[in-house]
Amino acid sequence: MPNKTDERQDRLDRRQKLIDAGIQVHPAKFDRTCVLAGLRDSKEGDKASVCGRIMLQRVIGKLAFYQLQDESGMHQIGVKVDEVGEENYKLVDLLDRGDFLGVTGTLGTTKTGEPTVWAIKLELLGKAITPLPEKWHGIQDIEKIYRHRELDLITNRESFERFQLRSAFLSNCRKYLESNNFMEVETPILTSVATGAAAKPFKTHHETDDMDMVLRISPETYLKRLIGGGFDRVFEVAKCFRNEGSDPSHVQEFTQIEYYVSYQDYLWNMDFTERLLREVAQKTFGTLEFDVIGKTGSKHHIDLSQPLPRYKITDLIKEKSGIDVLSFNDASELLKVMKSREIQVEDADKKGLGTLIDELYKKFVRPELIAPCFVINHTTEMLPLARRNNEDSRLVDSYQVLIAGWEVVKAYSELVDPVDQRERMERQAEFRQMGDEESFELDEEFLQAMETGFPPITGWGMGIDRIFALLTGQPNLRDVILFPIMKEEKD
């Protein structure tokens, strides 16, 4: 069996023969009359011009068969020397699996009844130099799948259709929001302050203005400023960046939808979220029941048609860990209790109170929340941008949507009191100076905007990668991201 280097050289030799024969190896265009899947609606004897990549070829003397593949699917092409002529048939000897081929011909069938376009004319539309992966096995190396997604898409139809479905899912989210009077907007990706979420940012530098900048971790503060500017409902499909560790449920570059609504609260938002999830899921997948893979790798069956129960996060932490986090006013006291119970937290001495509470939640509570549910009323330290709860000022009007231990939505009634917001941001800035890189920075421009007056606001963020991975039963977010970040490839 020839090795890949030999086969590549053979293809280069055939390419040169095509050039010597005056055939363009990469022509500018081809006038296609029908995609391959559209041939199903044609009748025997109809003429068609189709094109695609050669996925399979069989040459038997003066008869050749090809399986062409385009975005819509696959179809067989038949070539007889008597039909295309001796000169055009010479192209058959110079074609390889992976080449792009244009065919003008007549619809018919083979002796065994297989639908076939019988060629009248062949045109080379693109010469492939590197061989494709084996046709029966595709790509087995998971790193190669992530690094060279184009090969995965060519050889794995399930993967190809998954990304088509992702596009439909995102489109249906957009349509649902627009049908409810939301306006899509765009906000900065490069910012001077890391704000909008508790996370470590990626840092960069603006050469012209000689200023340090960060890639946004969330568009939140800008979107709320737009509400302050007079828009009632806005949303953004946002690329966000968090300079943190990777695992199957976390990537450093991800896509989320954030929206903000004036004159409503988090209770309205929970009801709206349930309706959105059901309608978008039904429209995209045709079902509300899904087999999902949880954070621990276990498989579960979920049903989005059922009402989502609502649980207070502090009650869940107390129930699962035995620690009443509401009895602590500072991080050091809570840390003492956690250490006494041998609860390990990396760089614990640098963590603020909200981060420590979140660590307890992630360790004891989140993995056990399998059925879709709302986790509500986080502490003020956990969500510095959320509105305080009227009944308990230690809590905020907030919620998360959890499915199989994965957080897919975070939302709250927004904090719009500039005095309260400044106090909380200053406290977060103190934690940051102490070494907690996930605490908020002080965002003076946002505070100034808030001081001009904000109406009541509720907001929402949904990780597209995460919820789509869940609903399609994928074990890793990279399976639903076309080109995830990868380490530099070594020779």
CA 205 to chain CA centroid, Å, is: 27
For residue 1, is pLDDT > 70?
A: no
Verify that 358 and 327 share a domain, yes or no: yes
> What is the pLDDT at residue 246?
81
Domain end, chosen from 132, 165, 180, is at 132
Last residue of a domain, one of 70, 97, 132: 132
pLDDT of residue 141: 84
In this predicted structure, the answer to whether residue 70 has a pLDDT above a threshold of 70 is yes
> Comparing 69-78, 137-146, 370-379, 465-474, which segment has the lowest mean pLDDT?
137-146
Is the pLDDT higher at 481 or at 345? 481
pLDDT at 91 over 80: yes
Confidence of residue 2 (pLDDT cuts 50, 70, 90): low
Residue 111 is predicted with a pLDDT of 92
Instruction: Tell whether 218 and 100 lie within a shared domain.
Output: no
pLDDT exceeds cutoff 80 at 197: no
The verdict on 251 and 204 lying in the same domain is yes
Question: Looking at residues 395-411, what average pLDDT do you find?
Answer: 95
Q: Does 441 score more than 80 pLDDT?
A: no
Confirm whether 487 is domain-assigned.
no
- 310 and 164 in a single domain? The answer is yes
Report pLDDT for 200.
Answer: 84
Beta-carbon contacts of residue 74 (< 8 Å; ≥ 6 apart):
36, 52, 55, 67, 68
- The tens digit of pLDDT for each residue in 408-440 reads 999 999 999 999 889 888 887 787 677 766 666
Average pLDDT taken over every residue of the chain: 92
Task: Look at residue 354 and tell me if it is in a domain.
Answer: yes
Listed in sequence order, the residues at least 6 apart from 411 whose beta carbon sits closer than 8 Å to its beta carbon are 266, 269, 270, 273, 398, 399, 400, 458, 459, 460, 461
Residue 405, sorted as left (phi over 0), alpha (psi -120 to 50) or beta, turns out to be left
Q: Do 381 and 350 have their domain in common?
A: yes
Instruction: Give the lowest-confidence range in 132-136, 197-201, 292-296.
Output: 132-136
pLDDT at 136: 52
Whole-number Å distance between alpha carbons of 411 and 400: 6
Determine how many CB atoms are found less than 10 A away from the CB of residue 57: 19
Q: Are residues 91 and 224 in the same domain?
A: no
87 assigned to some structural domain? yes
What is the 3-state composition of the chain as percent helix, strand, coil, each rounded to the nearest 5? 35, 25, 35
Please report whether residue 491 resides in a domain: no
The answer, yes or no, to whether residue 489 has pLDDT greater than 90, is no
Cα–Cα distance, 194 to 201 (Å, whole number): 6
On whether both 122 and 162 belong to a single domain, the answer is no
The model's pLDDT over 353-383, given as tens digits with 9 standing for 90+, comes to 888 999 999 999 999 999 999 999 999 888 8
Q: Please indicate, yes or no, if residue 143 is contained in any of the structural domains.
A: no
Asked whether the predicted pLDDT for residue 3 surpasses 80, the reply is no
* DSSP symbol at 140: -
| Residue 99 sits in the same domain as residue 163 | no
Same domain, 233 and 330: yes
103, 132, 161 — which closes off a domain? 132
Alpha-carbon distance of 390 to 370, in angstroms, equals: 30
The answer, yes or no, to whether residue 294 has pLDDT greater than 70, is yes
Residue 225 lies in a domain: yes
**pLDDT tens-digit profile of 261-271?**
999 999 999 99
Better-scored residue on pLDDT, 183 or 295 = 183
- Overall average pLDDT of the 453-465 stretch: 96
**What average pLDDT score do residues 12-30 get?**
97
CATH number, domain with residue 18: 2.40.50.140
Percent share of the chain, pLDDT over 90: 79
Residue 264 covered by a domain: yes
For residues 156 and 57, membership in a common domain is answered with no
Residues 117 and 160 in one domain: no
**C-alpha span between 106 and 49 (Å, rounded):** 9
Q: What percent of the chain has pLDDT over 70?
A: 97
pLDDT of residue 142: 87
179 and 79 within one domain: no
pLDDT band of 385, cuts 50, 70, 90: confident
Number of domains in the chain: 2
Measure Cα distances from 213 to 68, 191, 225 in Å: 48, 6, 20
pLDDT one-digit tens code per residue, 121-142: 999 999 999 999 875 556 678 8
Per-residue model confidence (pLDDT) at position 437: 65
pLDDT at 479 > cutoff 70:
yes
Digit-coded pLDDT (tens) for 333-342: 999 999 899 8
State residue 74's pLDDT score.
96
The CATH number for 391's domain is 3.30.930.10
* pTM, entire model: 0.90
Q: Where is pLDDT greater, at 257 or 193?
A: 257
Residue 409 in tokens: 């939505």
Size of the chain in residues: 491
Q: What angle do CA 315, 318, 324 make, to 5 degrees?
A: 100
Integer-rounded Cα radius of gyration of the chain = 29
Domain that holds residue 345: 152-480
Is 137 within the bounds of a domain? no
Provide the pLDDT for residue 287.
Answer: 98
Quote the pLDDT of residue 352: 85
Q: How many CA atoms lie within 13 A of 119 on its CB side?
A: 29
